[in-house]
Structure 1
Amino acid sequence: MEFVIKISQFLLSLSLLIVLHELGHFIPAKAFKTRVEKFYLFFDVKFSLFKKKIGETVYGIGWLPLGGYVKISGMIDESMDTEQMAQPAQPWEFRSKPAWQRLIIMLGGVTVNFILAYIIYVLISFVYGDTDFSSKSLKDGYWIDNPVLNDIGFQTGDKIISIDDVTINSHSDVIKKIISGEKYLIERNGVSQTIEMPVDFLGQLSSRKEKGSLFKLRIPFMVGEVVDTLQNKSVDLKEGDILLSVNNKEVRYFDQLSSVLEGYNGTTVSTVFLRGEDKIARELKVDSDGKFGIIPARNLVRFDELGYIEVTRKEYTFGESFKGGLDKFTEQIVSYWDQLGKIFSPETGAYKGVGGFKAIFDIFSPQWIWQDFWALTAFLSIMLGVLNLLPIPALDGGHVMFLLYEMVSGRKPGDKFMEYAQMVGFFILIALVLFANGNDIFKAIFN
């Protein structure tokens, strides 16, 4: 069921982004009376799953979900239709239009991507607001279970005071700085110290087989569900019960449980849980792996009530949401440009983390949470827009580069040159796609 939910989100998000991106080219093309021969979701190599001609345009759905396209008459694109380009230019063709109109047509896709992301962030701000956690409320620091962070010098319980000399006031400040942060000032047992991040931090994260989240909140062990096929199925525990102790040893945080249960494999232990305002005692069996067989839950409101964290909420009026959406949009643009910069810097090793469609699929939640779905779709829209602006022939950015050259120099690149440039760009794209998806396969086999 989890796979069905994830693949449904993946296909819905991808389809929405592709259709709207191509619509961004389609609308100005039609506005400038340029003929659009095809409008396709996914690629129709050899055959289509669906197609219907309306007017002069064939609308269809291909079988290969690697993107989509609009085929504009008189334009050298991925179709490499050299036969049409050998004919005299017609007034309805792309090549017959003024350079400024062609530029607007080519920029239409990425413009829609950025507008879509901004609108989504505005609506997220208005509908959901912002939820954050005060750094001062994290009295016992972060849970560090990522082996790379452990090797660098971080430990569970570390409080983050500043990153790159910028004071940290909330948990979101830490998350925003994970990619770019180079110098962390932390407090450990009341003593301040500085941790310098290695240049190849992102490369180490990608290469390490053992995985773990980055800077996890320390929360208690709350009962979500007692698995009815495992050892504690008959124990009277309810969703929301919070573990307080095991064999008279306090267990304040989830991350302390594994060490407390060490040595009790295959035995029964005495536990105390908090249910509402009452404490209840229960005998629980520990399996051979040192686990209770209980699926944990997460209730931030309850954790706030008990003093584990301080949840901060910011609500937006409809007018305020436009500013809130702009802030989120700007932060993501800056963050993604920073990621690209690190990917193209070999010394960072960030290229090892580049992924293809499986990597995108994996970041979707196994639960359908609309807020998360829309936030991820907005991010992917920004990613699609930025990548399409790269000055690589065959991408929108490549076409824009040649159009700007034409507008500045007054000389239009020849059709033969554009054909060769398109072929080079196409091979570059194929190489990038193979590299990204090859990374996915490599990690699936060896990690």
Structure 2
Amino acid sequence: MEILIKASQFILSLSLLIVLHELGHFIPAKLFKTRVEKFYLFFDYKFSIFKKKIGDTVYGIGWIPLGGYVKISGMIDESMDTEQMKLPPQPWEFRSKPAWQRLIIMLGGVFVNFILGIFIYIMLMWSYGEEYLPNENVKDGVWVQDSLAMNLGIQTGDKILTVDGQKIKKFYGLSLEFINGNNFQVERNGEVIDKEIPTDFISQLMERGKEAGPVLLPRIPFVIASVSEDSPNLNSDLKTKDIVVAINGNAIKYLDEAEAEFNKVKNQDVKISVKRGNEIIEIPVKITEDGKLGVALGQLNHKDLEKLGYYDLADIKYSFSEAIPAGWNKSWKTLTDYVKQLKKIFNPSTGAYKGLGGFISIGSIFPNEWSAESFWNITAFLSIMLGFMNLLPIPALDGGHVVFTLWEMITGKKPGDKFLEYAQVIGFMLLIALLLFANGNDVFRLFQ
């Protein structure tokens, strides 16, 4: 059922993005009186699931869910309709239009993707606002349990100040900042220390597996979930949700401080103080030979931690006018983060290419349960990603057509039809190779 929910959201999001992207080409083509022969969601090799001709255009749904297209008369595109190109140019054909009109038609899809992503982020900011843990509010530093964080040279209690010289706004955005970054600064016991992020950080991150938690966590209190059946304290007064605040008279605030205190009193009877509601209760306990209390650890959500005075969360609500710059800023950060990650993918030493994923990876980022906020957040991200990818100067993509058109506008020389045909074939082969590699990575990870 969870897979079905994820797949449904993925197909809905992908279909919406494809239709709107192709509409971005379709509308200016019609405005410039250019004939559009086909408007398709998904590809229709050999046959279509649905098709209907209205006017000069056949509207349909293909059976290969790898994208979509509009077939514009007199244009060398995915259809590779070279027979049409052998005939004399007609007034309604793409090739007969001025270069500036062709440029607008080709940029239309990318323009829609970027505008859609920005619009969705603006509406999300207006509807939901933002709630997050500000990095500056993690005043006592981070909790280091993960070996990758240790390899970075981070210790429990360190405060992460900057990555690549930029202050960190959101604590839970740290992992992404490390993925995109090259160096960072920490404050340790009042001293500021500069550290390098290993070139293969992304590769190390992937080796941890999907089930691994965040690289860095905020420090948390020692909360008791239950007393273990084999614990020497099974019959003690310890209760669920008790928060340990002192061990043998020594105050502790965080779970990571408890280990050192327990190691001092191994195999001893001591008293610990717990916070229960608004009370502080002292309870006699037995510490095991290996320095354990014999309890299962509990967790508190961020709201509870805020009530207890551990962390102050940011909860920002935006008016519509305030949501516009907030949505724009989020769109810009999404785009720049994506570009940084793409650069790392093309650098083999980072190992980032191993994380390149196809449809399974994209589908997996949707939640197991329907959430309008999550769905539109992911759709906005995918829209901006799709817009940027289509701008790449690869002949089979919009960006390739844009490059050739700009060359014509600058030099006054139009590339020949044969050259465009060969370029289209090469570009299409590059895209197929990339598609096979990305989806091959998905299959490999499934078997792992």
Task: Give the TM-score of the pair, scaled to structure 2.
Answer: 0.82
Give 1:14-93 correspondences, 5 Å limit. Answer: 14-93=14-93
Identity %: 55
Specify whether residues 279 and 445 from structure 1 end up closer, same or farther in structure 2 by C-alpha distance, changes over 3 A only: farther
Q: Secondary structure at the match of 1:71?
A: strand
**Matched residues in 1 for 2:361 and 2:254: separation?**
31
Q: Deviations over 1:261-311 (max 9, x none)?
A: 9xxxxxxxxx99978657999xxxxxxxxx9999x8764323211122110
The one-letter code of the counterpart of 1:402 is F
Note if contact 2:224-2:243 (Cα within 8 Å) is conserved in structure 1: no
Residue 171 of structure 1: how far off its partner (Å): 1.9
Contact 1:220/1:243 (<8 A) preserved: no
1:243–1:272 CA contact under 8 A, matched in 2: no
How much is the aligned-residue C-alpha RMSD, in angstroms? 3.7
Distance 2:17 2:135 in 1: 36
How many angstroms apart in 2 are the aligned matches of 1:168 and 1:400?
Answer: 37
Structure whose CA Rg is larger: 2
What is the aligned counterpart of 1:382 among 371, 381, 384?
Answer: 384
Matches within 5 A, 1:149-298: 149-168=149-168, 170-171=170-171, 174=174, 177-188=177-188, 192-209=192-209, 211-219=212-220, 242=241, 244-245=243-244, 277=278
Indicate conservation of the 8 Å contact 1:244/1:252, yes or no: no
Q: Summarize the Cα distance change of 1:412–1:306 in structure 2 as closer, same or farther, 3 Å threshold.
A: same
CA shift for structure 1 position 427: 0.4
Secondary structure at the aligned position of 2:179 is classed as coil
Name which of structure 1's ranges 58-67 and 160-169 shifts more when overlaid on structure 2. Answer: 160-169
1:362-373 equivalence runs, <5 A: 362-373=364-375
Q: Which amino acid aligns with 2:64?
A: L
Corresponding residue for 2:128? 128
Q: Separation in 1 of the partners of 2:31 and 2:259? A: 64
**Superposition deviation, residue 259 in structure 1:** 12
| Aligned length in residues | 419
Report deviation, 1:89: 1.6
Equivalent residue number for residue 235 of structure 2: none
Offset of residue 344 of structure 1:
1.6
Partner in structure 2 of residue 13 of structure 1? 13
**Taking structure 1 as reference, are residues 355 and 51 closer, same or farther at Cα in structure 2, changes over 3 Å only?**
same
Give the distance between the partners of 1:68 and 1:255, measured in 2 at CA.
Answer: 53
Q: What amino acid sits opposite 1:361 in the alignment?
A: G
* Residues 206-249 of structure 1 deviation map (CA, whole Å, 9 limit, x = unaligned): 3454743232344568899x9xxxxxxxxxxxxxx745259989
User: Pick from 344, 347, 368: which aligns with 2:346?
Assistant: 344
SS in 2 for 1:391: coil
Alpha-carbon distance change, 200 to 424 in structure 1, aligned in 2, over 3 angstroms: same
**Structure 1 pair 212/438, CA: closer, same or farther in 2 (3 Å)?**
same
Q: CA deviation at 1:64?
A: 1.7
* Cα displacement (A) at 1:345: 2.1
CA–CA distance in structure 2, aligned partners of residues 416 and 128 of structure 1: 52
5+ long unaligned stretches in structure 2: 227-239, 263-271, 284-293
Indicate the residue corresponding to 1:233 in structure 2.
none
| CA distance, structure 1, for counterparts of residue 380 and residue 369 of structure 2 | 18
Q: Distance in 2 between matches of 1:60 and 1:221?
A: 59
Moved more, 363-372 or 8-17: 363-372
